């Protein structure tokens, strides 16, 4: 059986438990009793329900319910859902370009994919899918919604989205081949702008090629902006490779499983592709999982300044386990948590920016009035952080454009370039321009070499990324 990793590697250990329950039965015997109960209920439904039922659909729904009760990211993937997952991580598929997640009977958008039909239609992270083709989407699973959104290239689907503080909005999305170029880049004056939209099998190669191209265009580059906004994540190997591109050495991320000895550490190899130039990383609440691994590693090593809004907070590892070689679908099951090099948990907390900046006045209002805005912490069944820390609640971002600010401009990106002009030193950053709301004293990190800031244990070759199976 080949295990495929959604955003990481994990050690899966199956053990028998022999402790007695209060009723005198072992947990194993109680589990067998409940399985027999399930069979009894299925038999009653088959015989007594008002219309004939499809046993396969009932059992698949039961599997989805069981996995969904664990946490928001554990799930049963039917064969069609497993095939779709493989397509997405290979870098091309047919659809509308959305990363989605279910919670409390609703399916929400984690992030729209760059250049896809949904992104072009103005769909944002946090939007709720209310209906598809006029039929309510309430109670549907992620797999069911995905199946309805996918279809032949050139066909259309009518989708209604709900957004905090706004009226429902119906859009018609035309399906197309979503070929994900995960990395793009351009020269902006004396700086280079890098956009990573997802982490797939091609990301490391595309990043190397893009940086080389930009260096050729302008050999005098003075700094880099790495844009991870609305990047919903992807493969662990890709996240490690992107982090490694900006680091000379040291730990990138660790993952810790159920047992104390289930710890894996991933480290950087020598060779910073940027030559040590200043780096700014842009994040927002649509930056999740693999994006948070990169932002957390570069922040902890004092290698980059983080600008934007606190990230989503998905710091858990899912191992995808095919069932009967995928013929019966697969299980995506949470097997570990991620921790940044300093030992901070990503789960339910996210990565806080060094300079908190909203892109628009509307976005600032969402952060100030919504409980946890749209984040992992908003899920009732979310895994805890394991370290007792909590995500910052509703507040007014430090910097936010006024209502008259041109929405076609990108204020977060403008401030990222300002940080680069200041050499990455927030203490020397120019004041926000007139018309920008400033609500807090900026957080200024002490200048400290990464070698003094963190232990940098390195990583034995035998557990380097690439030796573990991946999705």
| 162 and 194 inside one domain | no
The maximal CA–CA distance of the chain, rounded, in angstroms, is 76
Domain that holds residue 173: 93-179
Name the band, by pLDDT with cuts 50, 70 and 90, for residue 368: confident
Q: Is residue 173 part of a domain?
A: yes
CATH number, residue 132: 2.30.42.10
Report the alpha-carbon distance of residue 311 to residue 286 in Å, rounded. Answer: 7
CB 284 within 8 A of CB 309: yes
pTM, 2 dp: 0.76
465 pLDDT above the threshold of 70: no
Residue 96 has a pLDDT of 92
| 167 and 190 inside one domain | no
| 229 and 372 inside one domain | yes
Q: Mean pLDDT across the stretch 407-422? A: 92
Q: Which of 237, 314, 375, 385 is catalytic?
A: 314
| 274 and 155 inside one domain | no
Q: How many domains does the chain have?
A: 2
Report the alpha-carbon distance of residue 357 to residue 363 in Å, rounded. Answer: 10
Residue 87 has a pLDDT of 67
Name the band, by pLDDT with cuts 50, 70 and 90, for residue 440: low
Q: What is the pLDDT of residues 240-278, one digit of tens each?
A: 999 999 999 999 999 999 888 889 999 999 999 999 999
Angle at 204 between CA 203 and CA 207, to 5 degrees: 80
| 100 and 199 inside one domain | no
End-of-domain residue from the set 179, 206, 230: 179
Specify the pairing of strand 263-267 against strand 305-308: unpaired
Report the alpha-carbon distance of residue 377 to residue 385 in Å, rounded. Answer: 10
Residue 1 has a pLDDT of 40
3 pLDDT above the threshold of 50: no
Q: Is residue 378 part of a domain?
A: yes
DSSP code at position 358: -
| 311 and 364 inside one domain | yes
Q: What is the pLDDT of residues 7-34, one digit of tens each?
A: 433 322 223 333 444 455 677 889 899 9
Nearest to 113 by CA among 234, 256, 208, 32: 234
CB 159 within 8 A of CB 149: yes
| 300 and 153 inside one domain | no
> In the numeric block, which tokens belong to residue 400?
């936010």
| 308 and 433 inside one domain | yes
Nearest to 195 by CA among 151, 145, 149, 230: 230
Specify the pairing of strand 98-103 against strand 92-95: unpaired
Residue 259 a catalytic site member: no
| 350 and 416 inside one domain | yes
Nearest to 235 by CA among 467, 458, 465, 464: 465
Name the band, by pLDDT with cuts 50, 70 and 90, for residue 395: confident
End-of-domain residue from the set 179, 197, 232: 179
| 282 and 422 inside one domain | yes
> In the numeric block, which tokens belong to residue 290?
């693999």
Q: What is the pLDDT of residues 313-326, one digit of tens each?
A: 999 988 889 999 88
Q: Is residue 2 part of a domain?
A: no
Average pLDDT, the chain: 83
Residue 9 has a pLDDT of 31
456 pLDDT above the threshold of 90: no
201 pLDDT above the threshold of 50: yes
CB 317 within 8 A of CB 255: yes
Residue with structure tokens 């995808």?
A: 320
Residue 210 has a pLDDT of 98
List beta partners, residue 331: 76, 321
List beta partners, residue 281: 226, 306
Q: Which of 289, 291, 311, 375 is catalytic?
A: 289
Q: Mean pLDDT across the stretch 224-238? A: 93
Residue 15: exposed, middle, or buried by beta-carbon count in 10 A (0-12, 13-18, 19+)?
exposed
What is the signed CA dihedral for 176, 194, 110, 342, rounded to 10 degrees? 150
Q: Is residue 17 part of a domain?
A: no
End-of-domain residue from the set 148, 179, 210: 179
| 173 and 202 inside one domain | no
Residue 314 a catalytic site member: yes
């Amino acid at each position: 059986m080949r295990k495929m990793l959604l955003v990481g590697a994990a050690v899966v250990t199956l053990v028998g438990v022999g402790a007695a329950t209060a009723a005198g039965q072992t947990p194993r015997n109680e589990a067998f009793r409940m399985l027999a109960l399930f069979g009894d209920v299925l038999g009653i439904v088959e015989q007594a329900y008002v219309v004939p039922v499809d046993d396969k659909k009932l059992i698949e729904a039961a599997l989805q319910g069981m996995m969904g009760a664990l946490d928001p990211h554990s799930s049963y993937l039917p064969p069609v859902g497993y095939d779709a997952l493989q397509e997405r991580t290979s870098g091309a598929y047919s659809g509308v370009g959305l990363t989605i997640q279910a919670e409390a009977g609703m399916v929400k958008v984690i992030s729209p994919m760059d250049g896809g039909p949904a992104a072009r239609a103005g769909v944002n992270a946090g939007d709720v899918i209310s209906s598809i083709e006029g039929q309510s989407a309430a109670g549907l699973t992620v797999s069911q919604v995905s199946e309805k959104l996918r279809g032949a290239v050139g066909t259309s689907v009518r989708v209604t989205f709900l957004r905090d503080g706004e009226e429902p909005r119906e859009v018609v999305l035309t399906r197309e081949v979503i070929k994900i170029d995960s990395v793009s880049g351009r020269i902006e004056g004396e700086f280079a702008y890098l956009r990573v939209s997802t982490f797939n099998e091609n990301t490391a190669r595309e990043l190397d090629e893009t940086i080389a191209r930009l260096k050729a265009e302008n050999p005098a580059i003075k700094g880099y902006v790495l844009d991870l906004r609305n990047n919903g994540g992807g493969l662990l190997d890709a996240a490690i490779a992107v982090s490694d591109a900006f680091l000379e050495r040291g730990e990138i991320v660790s993952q810790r499983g159920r047992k104390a000895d289930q710890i894996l550490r991933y480290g950087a190899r020598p060779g910073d592709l940027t030559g040590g130039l200043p780096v700014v990383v842009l994040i927002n609440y649509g930056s999740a999982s693999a994006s948070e691994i990169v932002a957390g590693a570069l922040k902890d090593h004092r290698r980059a300044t983080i600008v934007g809004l606190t990230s989503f907070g998905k710091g858990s590892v899912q191992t995808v386990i095919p069932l009967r070689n995928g013929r019966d679908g697969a299980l995506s099951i949470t097997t570990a948590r991620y921790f940044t090099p300093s030992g901070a948990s990503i789960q339910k907390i996210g990565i806080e920016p060094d300079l908190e900046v909203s892109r628009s006045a509307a976005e600032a209002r969402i952060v100030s009035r919504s409980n946890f805005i749209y984040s992992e912490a908003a899920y009732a069944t979310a895994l805890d952080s394991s370290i007792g820390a909590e995500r910052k609640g509703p507040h007014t971002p430090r910097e936010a454009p006024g209502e008259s600010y041109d929405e076609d401009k990108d204020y977060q990106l403008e401030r990222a370039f300002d940080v680069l002009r200041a050499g990455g030193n927030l203490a020397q950053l120019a004041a926000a321009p007139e018309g920008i709301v400033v609500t807090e004293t900026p957080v200024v990190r002490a200048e400290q070499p990464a070698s003094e800031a963190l232990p940098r244990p390195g990583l034995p070759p035998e557990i380097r990324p690439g030796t573990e199976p991946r999705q």
